[in-house]
Structure formats: structure tokens, C-alpha cells
Structure 1
Amino acid sequence: MTETFRHNPELSRYELEVDGLLAVADYQRSGHRLVIPHVEADMALRGTGAAGRLMSKVAETARAEGMRITPLCSYAAAWLKRNDPDLIA
């Protein structure tokens, strides 16, 4: 399995590519907040933990940049509550 995390500022999203398939987290920046309205994984990735690994990288990136996350997406909100509640803005 080959996995690559990247920031795609042209599309305002973070991407996790797994064997050519994508999990994405759309975002908007608002001051020191990263607003996440949508997280989605390719159908073939669902149930594999790819979206969770993506959110882990997004949280790591936000923390490194001194940002907090405002999750509008129910998946992002649930993931943050379980794994990194201190980042929720």
C-alpha cells in the first residue's frame, strides 16, 4: 500500500492518496481557524481507516501551524471529539 498526504491549496483541501484513490478534507481558513465543511473518501477506501488517517494528518498540520479546527462535517467533528478534542474551535 502506497500512501501520500498532501495539501492542495488550489482546491482548498487536504488529500490522502492511497494506491491511487483519494480521501479529501475540504477547508476554509478563517484567521487561526481551519473550517472543515466536508470529508470524503473514495468508495473503495471506506471502512479502511483512510479518512481517519487523513484527519490525523490534518490535525497534525493544524497544530504545527498554531491553528484550531472548526468541524462542520459530522465525520470531522466525531473524529476530533474522539481523537483530538483540544483542537476544536
Structure 2
Amino acid sequence: MSVEVHNDEAQNQYTITADGEPVGFAVYQVSGGEIAFTHTEVNPKEQGKGYASQLVRYALDDVKASGTLRVVPACSYVATWVQNHPEYQELTRR
């Protein structure tokens, strides 16, 4: 199975696909020096397979690599994920 994540800047969301089919997305808004993740969703038929975690990890790694934006985990999934992965908490304090 091929899993890919990409940033769809035109839609302000990161999208995850499995074998070319979309299975989830994480919506964001950029304002000033912040990127707020406002909603994360995975197709109910695909939940429990780790797609949401892969999606959030990719998105946060992308934010980290691309500059100095501060992450605002407005989505409850992203907030919990960051809390459970202390190595990403620094992104919320930039």
C-alpha cells in the first residue's frame, strides 16, 4: 500500500491518500506568524489505521522545515497529538 501526504495550499489543507485514494485531511489557516490547524478528518472506513497520526506528523514536520510559523493546535486531534509527542511542542512556542 502506498501512502502519501501533500500540502494542498490552494485548499489550505494537508491531504493523505492511500493507493491514490484520499482518506483524510487536516485544514489550516495561516495568519501573521501562525498556522492554526482547525480540523482533522479521516474517512470513517479508514479510521484506526494510523492515517491521522501520519497526516499530522507530516504536516508538523513540513511546518518545522519551512520556517518559523508558530503552530496553533485549534483542532482537538492535533492538540492531543502534540501533547502526546513532546518533541513537537516547541512548534507551539515559537
- TM-score normalised over the length of structure 1: 0.91
For residues 81 and 11 of structure 1, the distance between their equivalents in structure 2, rounded to whole angstroms, comes to 26
2:3, 2:18 within 8 Å by CA — same for their partners in 1? yes
Structure 1 stretches of at least 4 aligned residues deviating more than 2 Å after TM superposition = none
CA distance in 1, matches of 2:30, 2:22: 25
Structure 1 segment 9-20 matched on structure 2, within 5 A: 9-19=9-19, 20=21
The equivalent position to 2:84 in structure 1, one of 75, 82, 89, is 82
Unaligned runs of 5+ in 2: none
Whole-Å separation in 1 of the counterparts to 2:10 and 2:22 = 19
Matching of residues 14-29 of structure 1 within 5 Å: 14-19=14-19, 20-29=21-30
1:85 partner letter: Q
- Work out which of the two has the higher radius of gyration on C-alpha atoms and give 1 or 2: 2
CA distance in 1, matches of 2:54, 2:6: 12
Task: Tell me whether 1:60 sits opposite 2:64 in the alignment.
Answer: no
Preserved CA contact (<8 Å) 1:80 1:87: no
CA contact (8 A) 2:15 2:22 kept: no
Q: SS where residue 72 of structure 2 aligns?
A: strand
CA RMSD for the aligned pairs? 1.2
* Structure 1: unaligned runs, 5 residues or longer: none
TM-score by length of 2: 0.87
Q: Number of aligned pairs?
A: 89
Tell me if the contact between 1:21 and 1:45 (Cα under 8 Å) persists in the aligned partners. no
User: SS state of the match for residue 35, structure 1?
Assistant: strand
Q: Percent identity?
A: 27
